[in-house]
Amino acid sequence: MTKVALAGQPNCGKSTIFNLLAGANQHIANYPGVTVDKKTARIQIEGTKFEFVDLPGTYSFSTYSLEERVAKTFLMDEAPDVIVNVVDAATLRRSLYLTFQLLELGKPVVVVLNMMDVAERRNISIDSASLSELLNVEVVEAIGSRREGRQEIFDAVRRASATKTVEPFRIDYDALEPYITQLEERIRVETALPQRWLAIKTLEKDQVVLERTGISAAEVTDLADEIHRTHDLDVDQAIARLRYQNADVVFHKCVKEEGGSQDTITARLDRIILNQWLAFPILFGIICAIYQLAIVYGYKLTDYTWPLLAAVKNKIISILPVATSIEVPLITDFGIWMTNSVLALLNYLPIFFILFALIAILEDVGYMPRMAFILDRVFKRFGLHGQSTLPLVLGGAFVGGCAVPGVMSTKGIADDRARLATVLTVPYMNCLAKVPFYTLLLGAFFKDQMSIMMFYISTVTLFIALIVARLLTSTVLKNHETAPFVMELPAYHIPTVRGVLFRACQRVWLYVKKVVTIVVAVAVVLFVLLQYPGVSDEKMAGFHQEGDKAIASFTKKASKTQYAEFVDEPHEVFALLGIYDSYKANRMLATSKEAVAGMDARYLAENPQLFPLVRPDNKEAKQLNRQLRKLSKVNKRLQIAIKSEKIRNSFLGMFGRALEPLTTYAGFDWRINVAFLSSFAARESAVATLGSIYEKGKSDLSPEEAFAQDGAYTPIHASSMLLFMILTPPCIATMVVVRLQANSYRWMLFAIFFPIALGIGLSTAAFSLALTLGWTGAEMMRNFYIAVVLTTLILGFLRTKRSGWHVGKMEKGLEQC
Amino acid sequence: MKDFPVEQIVDSGSESGTGGSGCSGRSATTLADLKKNQKATILKCSATGALGQKLMNMGFVPGTEVLMVRNAPLRDPIEIEIHGYLVTLRQTEAALIQVEFV
């Protein structure tokens, strides 16, 4: 098998070339121990097996950035047979900087001149034959976006892998050469890597290489001092300068630039997009458009996809055993619980798909770094990065978003500390699934102040996120590695439909694979915790008695009708109830008259005797149908009562009660605790659990009314609950992606418990203040809002101290001006 | 790798003859001083550690011509054209790169 590594500078179109070569059979994993994506693909072409590995894009192979370390370590340890160096043809000169370093590795190199069309448009003509001759390697022209050059690259790779002796272009390091030779002789390591390369890297004080050669950093520093003394040269800068000078020479020999490259399309577009006055409106417009398309329309799209999922759900329920008494069989309960948990997440797939596609478009177009350019000054103040904008917006900057794509989109943030801070703060944004909870509480306690309360809720989150970010970056993340803000603004590109869809699908699949599996596991645990140890026998007997009475009354009523023989046994009555409930559920999904007719026919065929009672066609059946409806209501009520009792007695219920002494200061009783605990698998569960605890048979009341009439809570309690929900940790799905992006369980646990502590702390404080000062619930919310906004502003005006990396001292004269 | 010690200002070398920094009493021109559309040549880069390496890798080496393209809307990061491509960096970082007007 021929092992091929793809290397190139950022924005050179390396991924496009990789996709071009690999097609759909790609495998994405992480490089060991880091969050850098490792894409590999195995393909067989004309009898030759290839394994392609896409290295992270790097400008060079120094030790300072994670990507560079990863790429370098791979090239050193995995010994690829051929290195494919993808080069942006339009910026050949600086691309050669990396090419020279790849040539020094002594492996066969194939240079792929990508984006030849762009170069052509800019009147840059490259003589690839003489480039090939000069560098003494294969040079292939390609246009990745138009899928041109695939065969040529394969051919070149095959030819390159066949050549044994490689004598590529070699940079003459001039005054440094004697020192390189001297080091070469010192290095005695068993390795396939060329001595010369190790020597150069040693001279560059490359930590990874120093570890292997065993030469101490101090020794190299002494050498550098000597060079400085004798030649007045700084080693690093001298090497860089020589590489650029060589690049200049090669460039001038192979490239002809006609006319000024002044007015490129990119320059023209930037004059508008980065315009001092237009930049913000455009940015705002783009964010609104993403929000509208993904969250709003995506949510609407779920109206169409939900029936499909609901049909699946009904199908699963229809397979599960039917209740033969008021007690629902455990397996049925479990089946429904699991189906609900998974479907709640799958329901968001349309939103995720649109979001991921839009992000892919923004990435391909080249707008992401420009967003950072526009907003960096604001975010810098809070320890974030300009590129934190999009993750925060996706997390829910307006009414609701989702932290999952938000956290996933932090990948591109160049500064590791800011990236981690963003990962940890996105979950504070407004989760879409929290909205039902908000509406429930607002509907119950703040009918008149609904809109202003919603305004507080939906805007306070961004301020909280900023405060938390500032807090984290100046404390726990203080010493975390950070990168200088030096970023390329790549030329604008038109994204390809294929590439965008491919990436969107890839990310959705990643979500399904990673998140859903873990949610399933957590849902099982929660189910057990909510189900056991169960209802006491006496209580259960009471429920059974009530149920039997209702059944008996129904059977008695039916005994005088023609249907008597079909429903004289309790299990027959329950079978009838089962048909009734399933018909009702399916009926809600049927959209057309024809569908209803078809469904009726199907049900009738399956249950010829009982179905007429569900859909009565004569007077007698109609009367009995009324009774059936009543019975179904009683049955439902009893089931809910059992469920509520079960939760009360469950482990989770006990836990909720155990927490009560603590949470009571925030105004939460055990029922609220259980609702919060159970919502950890998916936020939607909070409302459902609350519902099943509160619906004590008053099923004709809406949940809002049931809640308001409960009597145990005042609007202050409600505000406190809202506060906690705003700050509360996100769902397990978010935690999974936090763990993926932060690449550490420690940060995941931190992301779970820090918000809980913060939420309990703040809601306790606000609740107590409200009680002592006599605020109403709405006043409490308003005051909290004001406090948060003021804190944000104060923090924003405080200067951050620079730490983590240091820049050289500024020139003295500079500080004066 | 977390901490890059502040090192002494690294002298970029022999190339530029423009006197010792600070001696003249007048402040040296840096990248941060450029106005929109002004061109300059890099004299030396006083940044060390990660920043120094990054700048070097991206082509900020003495003798290179740079063009100040624009300020960000909030003034702070600036956009520079170098080696035919666009780079943005913060003022604090740009202030470490000494230039000479063309």
Each residue of A197-232: pLDDT tens digit? Answer: 999 999 988 888 888 888 888 888 999 999 999 988
What is the model's pLDDT at position B12? 38
Query: What totals of helices (H) and strands (E) does chain A contain, helices first?
Result: 38, 10
Contact criterion met (CB below 8 Å) for A751 and A419: no
Best mutation site among A65, A265, A805, A817 for testing chain B: the one with the most B CBs within 10 Å? A805
For residue B15, is pLDDT > 70?
no
Compute the average pLDDT of residues A751-774: 91
> Which residues, in sequence order, are CB contacts of A61 under 8 Å at separation 6+?
A68, A71, A72, A75, A98, A101, A201, A206
**Residues from chain A contacting residue B27 (CB–CB below 8 Å):** 811, 813-814, 816-817
C-alpha A602/C-alpha A375 separation (Å) is: 60
Least Cα distance to A352 among A402, A303, A286 occurs for A402
Least Cα distance to A561 among A633, A629, A623 occurs for A623
User: Residues A74, A78, A83, CA angle at the centre, nearest 5°?
Assistant: 75
For residue B25, is pLDDT > 90?
no
C-alpha A410/C-alpha A388 separation (Å) is: 7
Cis peptide bond upstream of A436, omega within 30: no
Minimal C-alpha gap between B77 and chain A (Å):
6
Of B4, B7, B61, the CB nearest to A237: B61
Least Cα distance to A150 among A48, A75, A45, A53 occurs for A45
| Structure tokens belonging to residue B59 | 């082509």
What is the model's pLDDT at position A558? 75
For residue A264, is pLDDT > 60?
yes
C-alpha A718/C-alpha A495 separation (Å) is: 48
When pLDDT is cut at 50, 70 and 90, the band that residue A697 belongs to is very low
**Cβ contact, residue pair A812, B9, below 8 Å:** no
**Nearest residue on chain B to A485, alpha-carbon basis:** B89
Q: Does A299 touch chain B (CB under 8 A)?
A: no
Least Cα distance to A432 among A456, A462, A469, A458 occurs for A458
| Structure tokens belonging to residue A591 | 């959209």
C-alpha B96/C-alpha B44 separation (Å) is: 8
Contact criterion met (CB below 8 Å) for A101 and A83: no
pLDDT in tens, A443-475: 888 888 888 888 888 888 889 999 999 999 888
Q: Is A251 exposed, middle or buried (0-12, 13-18, 19+ CB in 10 A)?
A: buried
Alpha helices in B1-102 (DSSP H): 49-57, 91-94
C-alpha A160/C-alpha A108 separation (Å) is: 6
For residue A816, is pLDDT > 60?
no
β-pairing verdict for B65-72 and B39-45? antiparallel
**Residues from chain B contacting residue A481 (CB–CB below 8 Å):** 1-2
Q: In the block, which residue shows the tokens 């047979």?
A: A81
Q: Is A256 exposed, middle or buried (0-12, 13-18, 19+ CB in 10 A)?
A: exposed
Least Cα distance to A136 among A166, A171, A101 occurs for A166
CA distances from A639 to A323, A585, A621, A636, A699 (A): 11, 17, 26, 5, 12
C-alpha A385/C-alpha A372 separation (Å) is: 7
For residue B11, is pLDDT > 50?
no
pLDDT in tens, A302-353: 888 888 888 888 888 888 877 767 777 788 888 888 887 788 778 778 888 8
When pLDDT is cut at 50, 70 and 90, the band that residue A803 belongs to is very low
Compute the average pLDDT of residues A784-790: 94
CA distances from A190 to A193, A208, A213 (A): 9, 16, 10
When pLDDT is cut at 50, 70 and 90, the band that residue A634 belongs to is confident
What is the model's pLDDT at position A61? 86
What is the model's pLDDT at position A682? 65
**Cβ contact, residue pair A485, B22, below 8 Å:** no
**Residues from chain B contacting residue A802 (CB–CB below 8 Å):** 92
**Nearest residue on chain B to A366, alpha-carbon basis:** B86
CA distances from A187 to A103, A206, A208, A308, A510 (A): 20, 14, 14, 66, 44
What is the model's pLDDT at position A301? 85
What is the model's pLDDT at position A102? 92
pLDDT in tens, A711-741: 678 888 889 989 998 888 777 888 888 888 8
* DSSP-assigned beta bridge partners for residue A385: none
Least Cα distance to A256 among A426, A366, A76, A122 occurs for A122
Count Cβ–Cβ pairs < 8 Å, chain A vs chain B.
207
Minimum mean pLDDT among A622-626, A667-671, B17-21: which range? B17-21
| Structure tokens belonging to residue A44 | 């067989």
Of B2, B73, B93, the CB nearest to A276: B73
Least Cα distance to A599 among A613, A583, A614 occurs for A583
Compute the average pLDDT of residues A600-605: 81
Q: Does A238 touch chain B (CB under 8 A)?
A: yes
**Cβ contact, residue pair B79, A274, below 8 Å:** yes
Contact criterion met (CB below 8 Å) for A690 and A675: yes
Q: Which amino acid is at A526?
A: L
What is the model's pLDDT at position A645? 81
pLDDT in tens, A116-129: 988 888 888 999 99
What is the model's pLDDT at position A260? 57
pLDDT in tens, A355-386: 888 888 988 898 888 988 998 888 888 888 88
Q: Does A262 touch chain B (CB under 8 A)?
A: no
What is the model's pLDDT at position A693? 61
| Structure tokens belonging to residue A666 | 């925030």
pTM of the predicted model as reported, rounded to 2 decimal places: 0.78
**Nearest residue on chain A to B86, alpha-carbon basis:** A489
Q: Does A222 touch chain B (CB under 8 A)?
A: no
Compute the average pLDDT of residues A261-272: 83
C-alpha A396/C-alpha A430 separation (Å) is: 5
For residue A96, is pLDDT > 90?
yes
Minimal C-alpha gap between A733 and chain B (Å):
31
ipTM of the complex model:
0.78
Compute the average pLDDT of residues A281-300: 83
**Cβ contact, residue pair B50, A484, below 8 Å:** yes
| Structure tokens belonging to residue A141 | 């022209």
**Cβ contact, residue pair A811, B12, below 8 Å:** no
DSSP A666: G
When pLDDT is cut at 50, 70 and 90, the band that residue A805 belongs to is very low
Minimal C-alpha gap between A388 and chain B (Å):
16
**Residues from chain B contacting residue A270 (CB–CB below 8 Å):** 69-70, 79, 86
Specify the length of chain B in residues. 102
SS3 A322: coil
Taking 3-state DSSP, the helix, strand and coil percentages for chain B, each rounded to the nearest 5, stand at 15, 35, 50
Least Cα distance to A152 among A52, A20, A44 occurs for A20
For chain A, give the mean pLDDT: 83
Query: Higher pLDDT residue, A9 or A405?
Result: A9
What is the model's pLDDT at position B4? 39
Dump the DSSP string for A431-498. BGGGHHHHHHHHHHH-STTHHHHHHHHHHHHHHHHHHHHHHHHHTTTTTS----SEEEEPPP-PPPHH
For residue A812, is pLDDT > 50?
no
**Residues from chain B contacting residue A206 (CB–CB below 8 Å):** none
Q: Percentage of chain A with pLDDT > 90?
A: 20
Q: How many Cβ atoms are within 10 Å of A787's Cβ, its own excluded?
A: 15
Which residues 276-295 in chain A show a CB within 8 A of chain B?
Answer: 276-277, 279-280
β-pairing verdict for A109-114 and A138-141? parallel
**Nearest residue on chain A to B77, alpha-carbon basis:** A373
| Structure tokens belonging to residue A50 | 């290839």
Taking 3-state DSSP, the helix, strand and coil percentages for chain A, each rounded to the nearest 5, stand at 65, 5, 25
CA A712 to chain centre: 39
**Residues from chain B contacting residue A485 (CB–CB below 8 Å):** 77, 88-90, 93
What is the model's pLDDT at position A127? 93
What is the model's pLDDT at position A270? 93
Least Cα distance to A740 among A29, A54, A27, A41 occurs for A29
**Residues from chain B contacting residue A488 (CB–CB below 8 Å):** 58, 85-88
C-alpha A788/C-alpha A803 separation (Å) is: 26
**Cβ contact, residue pair A808, B7, below 8 Å:** yes
pLDDT in tens, B56-100: 888 898 889 999 999 999 888 999 999 888 999 999 889 999 999
Of A59, A94, A806, the CB nearest to B49: A806
Of B7, B49, B74, the CB nearest to A377: B74
* DSSP-assigned beta bridge partners for residue B72: B75
Least Cα distance to A680 among A521, A534, A464 occurs for A521
**Nearest residue on chain B to A60, alpha-carbon basis:** B57
Instruction: Give the count of alpha carbons within 13 A of A817, CB side only.
Output: 14
